[in-house]
Chain A
Amino acid sequence: MHKEIPRQNSNNNQKIQDIMSKRYYRRKLVDKLASTFAIACVLAAIIPLGSILLEVIKNGASAIGIQLLTQPPGAIGSGLEDSGGIAPAIQGTLIVVGLASAIGVPIGILTGIYLSEFASGAGLFSTAVRLFNDILTGLPSVVIGIVGYVTIVVAVGSFSVLAGAFSLSIIMIPIVVRITEETLNVVPNSIREAGYSLGISKWKITLFILLKSAKSGVLTGIVLAISRIAGETAPLIMTILGTSLFFSSFTTPIDALPLRIWRLASQPYDTAHSQGWGAALLLIVIVLISSLVLRLLVHRKGFRVEALHV
């Protein structure tokens, strides 16, 4: 038979009810204030973002046109028809960011996989990798630009696409590593056990099962990293130099949108400024489109995985 546990008989119930009812109105007031404060914070965060976007669209929309998009820079001060466009910068951004991603994404994902699947313990090497990754995340981009100069530019002999892509990939890698590692850690262990119990080797489980589950999160990491490096100016100043010419080779200078925006903004001409706004708008649009395209490509076949949505 079950043993009966005697109930304690005290006045505590009544005491608690008294206390809780006394503070009722005050609690409701605090609740309302806190909600209002939270909403105010959200607005404080969104309003600057919204106003920046509006400003860029307002000033830049008028400058967008065929000339801006397809002409190389011309003589800025001499009137609209000869002032050219920013086409080499658009091409340059796409090439440099593309090359940087081609270097940074595989290294980042593989390191993230290593940290999550093969080195989750506290071994010396894995601790060192994590430590250096965190340090890299915080490195100022200008310093990374200097590193790019001292290594690639000096080795190649000139400012070049390679140097720019190298520096941007250094910025990109820690972001992708951190996000890949954390996304993989979130995948429940039961999936791994299911894979092991079928006699599938560890690397196959990681590549074909775990990464597919973590696809969404890893993609977010990549998109974040690309958006970040597409806008970095300081490393580019020291590695690609900027030019008015279109792409010629990987070992010669090239132009890029953030660089061009900076140069146009520092000139005293109105045409230059309006071209700069146009370039800024274009940069935002390019990043937006590339992230949408990436998401579409990867989620083409898939059904939404709500259970593991990261």
Chain B
Amino acid sequence: MYIDKAYVSIIKNRYGLTIDEAIHDCLLKMESSKKDNNHDQGSYKISIRNLNVWFGTKQILKNINLDIKPNAATAIIGPSGCGKTTLIRCLNRMHEMTPGAAAKGCVLIDHRDIYYKTVDPVIIKRRIGMVFQKPNPFPTMSVFDNVAAGLKLNGVKDKRLIKDIVEESLKDAALWDEVKHELDKPGIGLSGGQQQRLCIARALAMQPEILLMDEPTSALDPIASSKIEELIHGLKKDLTIITVTHNMLQAARVADFTAFMYMGELIEYGSTNQIFKNPQKELTERYISGKFG
């Protein structure tokens, strides 16, 4: 690591990045999960329990139960409109920012329910990074300011710390070599692939433990996409990464675990090997072999 881990924990503690809530009732009342037998029972990073999500009166997600392992990449695949994006937007409580959105259920992160009534959604978002489908760097800021935006606007004032973190994030995002001499150029002046890596660096600068990626390469050409896939390979050793993707081959390449969703329901979930080589449900098998979607 380029900078001291101590710095990282200072940020986490000072800026309210630890979720410190009582354990929600639902953890106690929780039904024993009905998982397949070849599912690993290790300690999970994220556990989704009976999540039901609506947009107005239309129900988007139906009773989702899912456990995400730490330090691994999990892909969520499925045809358009099956609720993949809604699902990950619920993991950092972005979903409820849309008017008319409602979510019921528990999402446990490190044994705490982030939907508990006293949890501040803004603090949750600081601990979970998100990368969007279309790269969205802040247009009025330089490359450096873009990466530092989350830190500066959340109260970090130490200039040396910010500089260190920016450099480390850009290196983690495999963008440092390309921009190290042009940190003052506008963020939107980069190419599409570079902009997406800039957005990843911006999310990484907040030192998240979880990174949510919503179809990160669907707006990029194959070369830029492969760079990002390499990135995910490198990052997943330290972070928990959840990617939504339309591209099954990408899921097969990048993810350790895959979840297949259809029409708002979780159809099957398991290690990528098992899902692609030996799917248990017929729907999964049909989707994997391209019969629909």
Partner of B139, one of A200, A208, A308: A308
The answer to whether B154 and A199 touch across the interface, beta carbons within 8 angstroms, is yes
Q: Check A198 against B202 for contact (C-beta < 8 Å).
A: yes
> CA of A199 to CA of B206 in the docked complex: distance in angstroms?
9
Contact B153–A194 (Cβ < 8 Å): no
Q: A201-B122, A204-B153, A208-B153 are in contact. Are A196 and B94 (CB under 8 A)?
A: yes
Instruction: Give bound CA distance, A191 to B188, whole Å.
Output: 12
Cα distance, A284 to B99, chains bound together (Å) = 47
Q: Are B126 and A307 in contact (CB under 8 A)?
A: no
* Binary per-residue interface labels of chain B (136-172) against chain A in the complex, 1 for a CB within 8 Å, 0 otherwise: 1111110000000110011000000000000000000
Q: Within 8 Å of chain B (Cβ to Cβ): is A21?
A: no
Q: Which of B99, B130, B137, B154 contacts A197 (CB 8 A)?
A: B130
The answer, among B132, B139, B149, for a CB contact under 8 Å with A307, is B139
Alpha-carbon distance between A305 and B141 when the two chains are bound, in angstroms: 10
Q: Range of interface residues on chain A?
A: 20 to 34
Chain A residue numbers with a CB within 8 Å of B129 are 197-198
A200-B154, A208-B153 known; A194+B139 contact, CB < 8 A: no
Q: How far is the CA of A286 from the CA of B125 in the complex (A)?
A: 49
Which range contains the number of B residues in contact with the other chain?
20 to 34
> Does residue B92 face the partner (Cβ distance < 8 Å to A)?
yes
Task: Say whether A193 contacts B132, CB under 8 Å.
Answer: yes
For the complex formed, measure the closest distance between the CB of A309 and the CB atoms of chain B, giving whole angstroms: 10
Q: Among the interface residues B94, B137, B153, which one has the most CB atoms of the partner chain A within 10 A?
A: B153
The residue that A194 contacts in the complex, of B92, B123, B126, B132, with Cβ under 8 A, is B132
Q: Could you mark each residue 206-231 of chain B with 1 if its beta carbon is under 8 Å from any beta carbon of chain A, else 0?
A: 10000000000000000000000000
B136/A199 in contact, CB under 8 A? no
Is the CB of A303 closer than 8 A to any CB of chain B? yes
Distance, CA A307 to CA B190, complexed state (A): 13
* A101 CB-CB contact with B under 8 Å: no
Pick the residue among A190, A200, A208, A303 that contacts B132 (CB under 8 A): A190
Residues of B within 8 A of A188 (CB): 136
Q: Does B199 contact A (CB under 8 A)?
A: yes
Q: Which residue of B lies closest to A207 (CB)?
A: B153
B125 touches A196 (CB 8 A): yes
Output the least CB separation between A194 and chain B (Å): 5
Interface residues of A in 106-144 (CB under 8 A from B): 121
B residues less than 8 Å from A209 (CB atoms): 138, 140, 149, 153
Contacts of B192 in A (CB 8 A): none
Picked from A190, A204, A205, A208, the residue with its CB within 8 Å of the CB of B136 is A190
Contact A190 B153 (CB under 8 A): no
A213–B139 CB distance below 8 A: yes
User: Does B203 contact A198, Cβ atoms closer than 8 Å?
Assistant: yes
Does A178 sit at the interface, judged by CB under 8 A? no
The answer to whether A197 and B153 have CB atoms under 8 Å apart is no
> A194, B99: Cβ atoms under 8 Å?
no
Task: Say how far A192's CB is from chain B's closest CB, in angstroms.
Answer: 9
Chain A residues positioned under 8 Å from B45 (CB to CB): none
Cα A305 to Cα B187 in complex, Å, equals: 11
Please state if A198 and B136 are interface contacts (CB–CB under 8 Å). no
Chain A residues within an 8 Å CB radius of B154:
198-200
Closest B residue to A212 by beta carbon equals B140
Residues of A within 8 A of B24 (CB): none
Q: A191-B138, A199-B127 are in contact. List 14 more A-B contacts (CB 8 A).
A: A188-B136, A190-B132, A191-B139, A196-B94, A197-B129, A197-B130, A197-B132, A197-B203, A198-B150, A199-B206, A200-B154, A212-B141, A213-B139, A213-B140
Closest 10 CB pairs of A and B: A199-B126, A198-B150, A197-B130, A199-B125, A190-B136, A212-B140, A194-B136, A200-B153, A204-B153, A303-B186
A residues contacting B by CB (< 8 A) are 121, 188, 190-191, 193-201, 204-205, 208-209, 212-213, 215, 302-303, 305, 307-308
For this complex, 20 residue pairs linking A to B, each with C-beta atoms less than 8 Å apart, are A188-B136, A190-B134, A190-B136, A191-B136, A193-B136, A195-B138, A196-B97, A196-B125, A198-B154, A198-B206, A199-B150, A200-B122, A200-B150, A204-B153, A205-B153, A208-B153, A209-B153, A213-B139, A303-B186, A305-B140
